[in-house]
Amino acid sequence: MSDAEKIVIVGASLAGARAAEGAREAGFEGEIVLIGDEPERPYERPPLSKDYLRGEKDDLAWVHEESFYAEHDIDLRTSTFVSGIDPAGSPETMSLSTFESRRSMPCSFAAWARRSA
């Protein structure tokens, strides 16, 4: 694999965090970007909806420790909304929209790991 390869994972959910972790465990050495629209790092939703909301737990059930993403060279981008993916580009171009800017991100692979409504 070349250094220019990049995986972009849309959805900093349990699935997105595990996809990034799995890519590293499988030996992917390129850039990994994990994008989520929430301000927090990935957390497990079922415990949030039960224990946390009942006040039985003081902290969210994080998928990984905060340091995990930097230690595994995963670029975690929170509070970032992805507006669309344009697969016609070469390499693929992902159009990103945030409160601050609108830009495109070239990547060699994009994964959609967003939770369903």
Q: Where are the domains of the chain?
A: 6-112
Kindly report, residue by residue over 10-59, the tens digit of the pLDDT. Answer: 888 888 999 999 999 999 999 999 998 888 898 877 655 666 677 776 66
CB 106 within 8 A of CB 6: yes
CATH of 6-112, one of 3.50.50.60, 3.40.50.12140, 3.40.50.720, 3.30.1360.40: 3.50.50.60
For 46-83, letters b (16+ CB in 10 Å) and e give eeeeeebeeeeeeebeebbeeebbeeeebebbeebebe
**Environment class of 7 (CB within 10 Å of its CB; exposed 0-12, middle 13-18, buried 19+):** buried
14-28, 63-77, 80-94: which has the minimum mean pLDDT? 80-94
Statement: residue 117 has pLDDT above 60: no
Give pLDDT, residue 58. Answer: 64
Tell me the C-alpha to C-alpha distance, in Å, between residue 65 and each of 26, 28, 60, 71, 81. Answer: 20, 21, 11, 10, 23
